[in-house]
Structure 1
Amino acid sequence: MRRTPLAAGAATLGLLAATPATADVLVPVESERLSDAVPVPTFEADASWPRLPEDMILGQSPGLAVDRDDNIWVLTRPNSLGFTDTGLDSGISSACCAAPPHVLQFDQEGNLLRSWGGTDLAPGDGVVEGQGPDATETGDEQWPANVHGLYVDENMNVWIGGNGNGDHVVLQFTADGEYLRQIGTRQQTDGNMSEEFLGNPADISVNGDSVLVADGYINKRIAEFGLENLGFQHLWGAYGADPDGGTREGNFDQSQAASTGDGGPNPESTAFGDIVHCVVRGPEDTIYVCDRRNNRLQVFRETDGGVEFLEDVVIALETGGTRTASDVAFSPDGTYVYVADMMNGRVWILLRETHEILGHFGKNGRYPGQFIWLHSVDVDSQGNVYTTEVNTGRRVQRFVLTGFEE
């Protein structure tokens, strides 16, 4: 296949005519083209990005957002690091490393601009006894025990969710970490039809009118709240109907993310699976929902009366384990859809107009351009793709748009 340099390919497709971002080390990535319908974007991994402080090590990174100024925000879990990871904090190492704050903002060169997070920033206080799924908490602390999902809106406010024990809340902060308000209350949940409480929200999407929440680790729904006062507006399940399929019994445990207790993916299910993992607003008033355990995206259109279901987009149907559709992002001009596939360790490239799968890049592995528990994906205004990983992945990667395969 003929490869077109970025400037020419971008002009052909009406994308931003930008040169690749400066990178010290670009590494080829494994990729495959599956369709000749249109030119397919090509990428290389920037092995020099980000430039972390010398004493910092990342934990699991379950949230990612590119803001209006093309800065990159990463949500990380310092509590996922062990004592040997953070020997500098515990005093057992004189060299490295220290746990990061939960929220990190990087510029295009990968320099750390801001960092904050933790229980001191949110209302309330609490005491946790025990570990993992057996942990119990008393008090009214509102900072999530296990952060999950990050969104930065046009006003540079930062929204964070959580999927740990009792984390039934979405919090809003300023860019500098000042608490503003919240949806839901930790330790309180009341099922799929609740207009007040959430059930382990996974993801957030905000525009000038409303806040969409993928309320998806305990509940199985999308919930919408007015941006002005965070009042309840709307909720829906699969195909835009009332959410059914029940709720998760007990607290979510990460081992459940790879279980086969649900019988495997069912892309024809009338209910969302037990992890509604993303909600992303796309071009032309569309909303993409990641029904991860059913290996599908459900695409809706926002209307004056609510939402209209458009179509199912199935991603690697035969896949088991942690399944596929984990997150969604779009090229700057809306031509392409990028879908993060957790189990297969790849980013799928779809033509947005038809949702035809054009190809993919990446593979499972621990080297640049490879993934372990690929979790989140986003795109900057130059078309560069960013990803984060959880479990033992624990990193953020940047993929520089280098051209188009004709």
Structure 2
Amino acid sequence: MRSALAASVLLALAACGAPEREEAPRAVIDESWPTIPEGAVFGQVSAVEVDSHGHVFVLHRAGREWEEPFPAEPIAEPTVFMFSPGGALLAKWGAGAFVMPHGLSIDAGDTIWITDVAHEQVFAFSHDGEEQMVLGERGVSAQDDSHFGRPADIAFLGNRVLVADGYVNTRVAEFDRSGAFLREWGEFSTAHGIAVDEERIYVADRENARIQVFSLEGELLETRSSPGGNYTYGLATLGGGWLAAVEGRDGADRTGAIVRVYRPDGALDRSFDVGLEGEGASLGHDIAIGRDGYAYVTDVYGNRVVRFSLARAAE
């Protein structure tokens, strides 16, 4: 089905004289990272984050593909993999917990927060996968203080939990750490990714092909349009106002995986291509930055997570 769609897109692009695909420098990907044990079910990799110990948590759909209406049964295989900094699989959990897992974020206490767009819920888990809290009513979509509309991603600001909500709703929903609703703000067309640094909140306003930048109180400060009108899927802060973003589609709606690094003033510093060759082969979805300086990007269509240095491009 996907190959037929890709062929149709290519024909349409050829007919309308779409611009050439961007030629960004290729990132130097660590081809040995991670190690997936033989027999492990791994695929449709949606989200990635690094904890305080350098463990890399990867959320995937174990071979399930995004098709609507979503199925009712949960994914039977583990969907959360924890890798060592060197790429060894240390733990896996989440079997039977999710239908369409989407976002994964880790707070300062190493609690694992996960969104499920089919369940319409946000979950908090201990480091080893014990469920601690659930926000939202299972299977019920609404925009109020106890429901979500396909929640996509999560970020943290002190005692506040910020949910990019998401595909159906058009807001950021804020809660305290006990799960009490605080407020909602913003207006987006698919609030797909959210990240926070010392002074700002960044939201990937995906279908508007832009990144919105807010104060810590939620006041809009700046709008950053992607070069070429590309669609930003995931964000990660680098400290000091620097920001990394991954784009999953270009301005002509062709899928791929382009990583951007933005300076504190919003100017583009550099770009990398981390996608696989061929239309429809990759869909960059999320990005995380480790304390060792490595960037990690999930590729939904490529069924993979890649590691690379933001400072290096292929010669």
TM-score by length of structure 2 reads 0.81
Matched, 1:116 2:93: yes
Indicate conservation of the 8 Å contact 2:41/2:63, yes or no.
no
User: Is the CA contact (8 Å cut-off) linking 1:58 and 1:100 kept in structure 2?
Assistant: no
CA deviations 1:99-128 (Å, max 9, x no partner) are 951001111100111110033xxxxxxxxx
Q: CA deviation at 1:316?
A: 2.9
Residue 278 of structure 1, CA deviation:
0.9
Larger radius of gyration: 1
Structure 1 Cα separation of the partners of residues 266 and 311 of structure 2: 23
Structure 1 pair 298–387 and aligned structure 2 pair: CA distance change class (3 A): same
Whether the 8 Å contact between 1:295 and 1:316 is mirrored in structure 2 is: no
* Cα distance, 1:337 vs structure 2: 1.5
Higher relative contact order (CA 8 A, sep 6+): 1
Structure-2 change in CA distance of 1:402 and 1:348 (3 Å):
closer
The alpha-carbon deviation at position 363 of structure 1 amounts to 5.3
Q: CA deviation at 1:383?
A: 1.4
Give deviations 1:149-193, integer Å, cap 9, x for gaps. Answer: 0011121111110122xx2110111111111111111122223xx
In the TM superposition, what is the alpha-carbon distance from 1:43 to its structure 2 partner? 5.1
User: Sequence identity of aligned pairs in percent?
Assistant: 32
In terms of fraction of residues, the more strand-rich structure is 2
Give the whole-Å Cα distance in 2 for the aligned partners of 1:51 and 1:200: 31
Rounded Cα–Cα distance in structure 2 between residues aligned with 1:402 and 1:206 = 27
Aligned partners of 1:153 and 1:207 also within 8 Å: no
Distance in 2 (CA, whole Å) between partners of 1:346 and 1:223 is 28
Structural RMSD (CA): 2.4
2:106 equivalent in structure 1: 152
Pair 1:214–1:170, CA change in 2 (3 A): same
Cα distance in 2 between the residues matched to 1:375 and 1:325 = 8
The separation in 2 between residues aligned to 1:144 and 1:310, in whole angstroms, is 36
1:361 aligns with 2:272: yes
Task: Answer yes or no: is 1:217 the counterpart of 2:157.
Answer: no
Could you say which residue in structure 1 is the equivalent of 2:235?
A: 328
CA shift, 1:358, in A, is 1.9
Alignment of 1:57-68 (within 5 A): 57-68=41-52
Match of 2:293 in 1: 383
CA distance in 1, matches of 2:258, 2:60: 21
User: Gapped runs of 5+ residues in structure 1?
Assistant: 1-29, 33-41, 82-98, 120-142, 239-271
* Structure 2 CA distance for aligned equivalents of residues 292 and 105 of structure 1: 28
- For the 8 Å contact 1:343–1:373, the answer to whether it is kept is yes
Deviates more, 1:338-347 or 1:291-300: 338-347
Runs of at least 5 residues in structure 2 that lack an aligned partner in the other structure? 1-22, 66-75, 251-256
Verify the 8 A CA contact 2:258 2:271 in the aligned structure 1.
Answer: yes
Matched to 1:160, the amino acid is I
After superposition, the C-alpha distances for 1:46-74 in whole angstroms (9 at most, x for unaligned) are: 00000111222421011111111111110
Supply the distance in 2 between the matched residues of 1:401 and 1:382 (Cα, whole angstroms). Answer: 11
- Return the alpha-carbon distance in structure 2 between the equivalents of residues 366 and 317 of structure 1: 19
Mapping for residues 311-350 of structure 1, pairs under 5 Å = 311-319=222-230, 324-331=231-238, 333-334=239-240, 336-344=242-250, 345-350=257-262
Q: Which runs of 4+ in 1 moved over 6 A?
A: none
Which one of the candidate residues 141, 145, 152 is aligned to 1:195?
Answer: 145
Counterpart in the other structure of 2:198: 283
- Write out aligned runs for 1:12-91 (5 A): 31-32=24-25, 44-80=28-64
Residue 207 of structure 2 aligns to a residue whose secondary structure is: helix
Cα deviation, residue 401, structure 1: 4.7
Q: CA deviation at 1:208?
A: 3.5
Cα distance, 1:371–1:346 mapped onto 2, change above 3 Å? farther
Partner of 1:128: none
SS at match of 2:113: strand
Take 2:112 and 2:88, find their aligned partners in 1: how far apart are those partners?
19
CA–CA separation in structure 2 for the residues paired with 1:146 and 1:70: 26
